[in-house]
A = this chain, B = another copy of it.
Amino acid sequence: MTDQSVINTRRRRPEARPSEIIDAALGLFARKGFDATRMDDVARAAGLSKGTIYLYFPDKTALLKAIITKKAVENLSSKTADILASAQTSAEALRKFLALIAFNVENTDLPNLLKLVIAESRAHPEIGRFYLDSAIGHMLPKVEHIIAQGIARGEFRAIAPALAARSIVGPMLFAALWKAVFEPVGAAPINVAELAQHHADIIIRGLAP
């Protein structure tokens, strides 16, 4: 009708800017890699001009860090807690946990995020460190806790929870990288949910007293 209807860049809630930029950038970084993505590409994808990005992020690396920070926390399922709490047995908790990870692997940026962290952590150690602290540092203990609880309840035999946890999440890492790295170059798609369920079967039997 009037100018009102024109989506004016200068009028859009500017508080949302950083988030818009981050989303645009993750898409590109994940698809093309950090180095191969130009700041110009990010700007265009965010509907802004190159210079504007620098009003919100001091440099390209800061943008990468912001992405990891935001997405790692987002994926860091606040849901996890709820879902686990609702499980009646440790075996059920394990199944639900693996199903949740599988869902994230199949439906979120998690695989690409992981790939990004792996690829860039040498050049930007803080990235690796941050992901280690926030994402992994939160996940592994939860699994270890499930195991320990299962042992305490007599559901599982006495094994080392730290090692078992890695036995449990390893195949999910496998699935994530398969999706992010190998499927794009022609590997047969993997059914992550099925793998998670099958893996849970083996593990739960393997942990039985």
Chain A interface residues (CB < 8 Å from chain B): 31-33, 35-36, 115, 117-123, 125, 128-129, 132, 136, 159-160, 163-164, 166-167, 169-175, 177, 181-182, 184-187, 190, 194-195, 198-199, 201-208
Across-interface contacts of A190 in B (CB, < 8 A): 166
Inter-subunit contact B118/A118 (CB<8 Å):
yes
Q: Which of A115, A119, A121 has the most CB of B within 10 A?
A: A119
Main secondary structure, interface of A, reads helix
Q: Are A202 and B170 in contact (CB under 8 A)?
A: no
Residues A167 and B198 in contact, CB atoms below 8 Å apart: yes
Q: A45 to nearest B CB, angstroms?
A: 16
Q: In the complex, which of the residues B128, B136, B203 contacts A202, with contact meaning CB atoms closer than 8 Å?
A: B203
19 cross-chain CB contacts under 8 A? A36-B122, A121-B181, A122-B181, A132-B182, A132-B187, A163-B198, A164-B198, A166-B171, A167-B171, A167-B203, A170-B171, A170-B199, A173-B174, A201-B206, A202-B202, A202-B207, A203-B206, A205-B208, A206-B206
